[in-house]
Structure 1
Amino acid sequence: MSNKKNKEFTSLYMPVHAQFERFCKARAYGQMDFKDMMQETIAIAFEKFETLQSHEVFLRFLFGISIRVLSNANQKIREEKWPANLDYASSGKNTAEHNLEIQELYKALEKLPDMQREALILFEISGFSIKEIAGIQSSSEDAVKQRLSRGRKELLELLSEKSNPIQTVEL
Structure 2
Amino acid sequence: MTLQAPQSEPTDKTFVDELEAMIPQMRAFARSLCRNKDLADDIVQDACLKAWAARERFISGAPMRPWLFRIIRNLHTGHQRKAWRASSLAPEDAETTLTTPGAQEWTCDFQVMQDALRHLPEKQREALITVLAAGFSYEEAAGIIGCSEGTVKSRVSRGREALVALMTKTPGKPSESRIKLQAAPANPLEELLAIHLSGAIPPETELPARAA
TM-score normalised by structure 2 residue count = 0.56
Which residue of 139, 142, 149 corresponds with 1:134? 142
Residues 13-92 of structure 1 aligned to structure 2 (within 5 Å): 13-30=19-36, 33-53=39-59, 55-77=61-83
Q: Which amino acid aligns with 1:48?
A: A
Query: Which amino acid counterpart does residue 153 of structure 1 have in structure 2?
Result: E
Following TM superposition, by how much is the alpha carbon of 1:22 offset from its aligned partner in structure 2, in angstroms?
Answer: 2.4
Structure 2 unaligned regions, length at least 5: 88-107, 173-212
Q: How many residues align?
A: 143
Counterpart in 2 of 1:152? 160
Residues 92-171 of structure 1: matches in 2 within 5 Å?
A: 101-102=110-111, 104-163=112-171
Partners of 2:146 and 2:50 lie apart in 1 by 20
* Cα deviations by residue, 1:77-134 (Å, 9 ceiling, x for unpaired): 357xxxxxxxxxxxxxxxxx96xx43x4344323333332111011222222223212
Counterpart residue type for residue 59 of structure 1: R
- Distance between the aligned counterparts of 1:25 and 1:138, measured in 2? 19
Q: For the structure 1 residues 153 and 31, does the alpha-carbon distance in structure 2 shift closer, same or farther, using more than 3 Å as the test?
A: farther
Separation of aligned partners in 1, 2:170 and 2:70? 32
Which amino acid letter does the alignment assign opposite residue 53 of structure 2?
A: E
SS of the aligned residue for 2:170 comes to helix
Displacement of 1:144 after TM fit? 1.9
Paired letter, 1:146? S
Describe the shift of the 1:143–1:56 C-alpha distance in structure 2 as closer, same or farther (beyond 3 A). same
Distance, in Å, in 1 between the alignment partners of 2:73 and 2:38 is 12
Gaps of 5+ in 1: 80-96, 165-171
Q: TM-score, normalised by structure 1?
A: 0.67
Counterpart position of 2:176: none
Contact preservation (8 Å) 1:26, 1:106: no
Contact kept? 1:122, 1:133, Cα under 8 Å: yes
